[in-house]
Every structure is written in structure tokens, then in C-alpha cells.
Amino acid sequence: MIRIEHLARSFKSESANRPGAPPRRWWQPARRTSVHAVRDISFTAENGRITGLLGPNGAGKTTTLRILAGLISPDAGTIHVDGIDVVAQPAAGLARMGILSDARGLYPRLTARENIVYFARLHGLSREQAEQRADVLGELLEMKPLLERRTAGFSQGERMKTALARALAHDPSHIVLDEPTNGLDVLATRALRRILLRLRTAEGGNKCIVISTHIMQEVEKLCDHVVVVAGGRSVAAGSVDELLQRTSHSNFEDAFVQLAFDGGAP
């Protein structure tokens, strides 16, 4: 289970010169402004459920997931994974998480299997265990025919599966995916949904799955629990049905727009 409470994070960003102002000389400090990427985000993601962070571009989804993955630290707030404080103990948190970031760097000269085995070894599996794990993942992610191919030249869908297999190399109980269907065609998208739904169930490991997306249909098809994120804040949470009821809309797009942009008012 993942529990995030009152997360906040801002970035310093260099701003352009104001129009009409004299150009900045090399010895003058750059004008810096603060970008509040995440202002106040709280949510709980349970095991055996797919939790979706749904929000427009720039809402703060990637920043939230990067903090969860221990890549950057928060300015405020807490993150617990199975009760472990991830900010204080990033390694213990990471051992429980498989993370598919929006940048899916694979080693192009390695085969899909070698990519998976390499990551499994980094997580401390023996060579034999790692090879076995690659076979299991080949089956689970419907990618057996890909395993012995070098990843250079893989299609988007094939790259995504390999990156996901790599993220699952150590059989983590928590799976975090940032916009996983970006750039995938309809068949690859459906394959990914099938895989995530399988991972969620007891046979697939009863995983705690968190995805971010800006696509409403994705959430409707996939997510048991939805956290609507806008302007760096979590503004509403519940199942798709609950959010529909709360807004008295019959269409989830209308419900989402109301929750994300109209302050929740009907």
C-alpha cells in the first residue's frame, strides 16, 4: 500500500528577460522564479487495485511519481510504502517498487532478455533466478517471441513491454507507471491494459498499481480508484462511479472537467 500525504515540491526556474529590460550580462545573476509543480497532493493506493492519477498536462503527476520513486525529494509531505518512509529510507522503498518512467531507456545492444536479466542481477538475483524471472515475465507480458531479440529497432509497444518487464524484474509488490500508454497504438494499449489487470489480481500477485494519465477512457477502462490532480493538488478521489455521482454527470469527461477546472462546483 502506498500512502502519500500533503506532498509539495517546487522548482527554481530561470525566467526570460522582461521585454524592454536591458539584456542580462554574464556577471549578473539570472532572474529565478519558483514553479510550484506539486502544491498539496494526498492519496492512498491499496493493494489489488489500480489507482489512476488523472490530470491535465502540467498538473504535477510526473513530479509526484518522481518523488515516489526517490528520484527527487519533496519540500514537504510524507510517503509511506507498506509503512516504510520512502524519503528517509529510499533504498527500502525502492526494493518494493517497480517503476516505469516516461523515459524508457533500454540498452539497444542487449536483447530483451539481457535487459531484464541485467536489472534482476542489479536487484540481487542470482543468474539462474534472473533467467527464470525473464521466462516468467516473457509469459506474463506476452513477449516470449521478443526475448532473444536486440531491443534496437523495437516498436513503441515492444519497448514498453521490455521496459515494464525490466521494472518488474525483482517482482516488486508496487508498480508505478507514468503515462504508460503514451505513444502506443490501440493493440499495444489493449495488451498493456490486459497485463495490468492481470497483475492486479491475486494470481498476478495482488499488486498495488499506480498509473498517471491525462486520458479519461484509460481511467474508465482500467482504474478502481481515481485521484483527480489539477494545479499541483489532488482535488477529488473515488471510483469512476463515485465521481460521476458526486458531480451528477452521466459522462466522465464532464465530471472530470468539473472536478479539475471548475473547483468541483456543478
Ligand X SMILES: Nc1ncnc2c1ncn2[C@@H]1O[C@H](COP(=O)(O)OP(=O)(O)O)[C@@H](O)[C@H]1O
Which of ligand X, Mg ion, none is residue 63 near (CB under 5 to 8 Å by kind)? Answer: ligand X
**Nearest distance from C-beta of residue 36 to ligand X, angstroms:** 8
Cβ closer to Mg ion: 39 or 249? 39
Cβ closer to Mg ion: 100 or 134? 100
Report if residue 62 touches Mg ion, rule: CB under 5 A.
Answer: yes
Identify whether the C-beta of residue 190 lies closer than 8 Å to the C-beta of residue 182: no
> What is the layout of strands, in order, in the sheet containing 84-85?
84-85, 76-81, 2-14, 32-45, 233-238, 225-230, 49-54, 208-213, 174-178, 97-100
Report if residue 11 touches ligand X, rule: CB under 6 A.
Answer: yes
Question: Binding marks (x or -) toward Mg ion, 32..61, rule CB under 5 A?
Answer: -----------------------------x
Cβ closer to ligand X: 117 or 260? 260
Cβ closer to ligand X: 60 or 205? 60
Cβ closer to ligand X: 57 or 250? 57
Cell of 105: 531507456
Helix 186-200 crosses helix 127-140 at what angle (to 10 degrees)? 120
Task: Please give the helix or strand (H or E) that residue 130 lies within, else none.
Answer: helix 127-140
Cell of 13: 526556474
Q: Is 219 helix (H, G, I), strand (E, B) or coil?
A: helix
Distances (CA, A) of 30 to 10, 12, 17, 23, 26: 18, 11, 9, 11, 9
**Nearest distance from C-beta of residue 214 to ligand X, angstroms:** 7
Q: Of 45-64, which residues contact ligand X (CB under 6 A)? A: 55, 57-63
Cell of 239: 471510483
Which of Mg ion, ligand X, none is residue 35 near (CB under 5 to 8 Å by kind)? Answer: ligand X
Report if residue 213 touches ligand X, rule: CB under 6 A.
Answer: no
62-70, 157-165, 230-238, 244-252 -> range binding Mg ion (CB under 5 A): 62-70
Whether the CA torsion 241, 247, 251, 253 is positive or negative: it is: negative
Binding site for Mg ion (CB under 5 A): 61-62
Binding site for ligand X (CB under 6 A): 11, 13, 35, 37, 55, 57-63
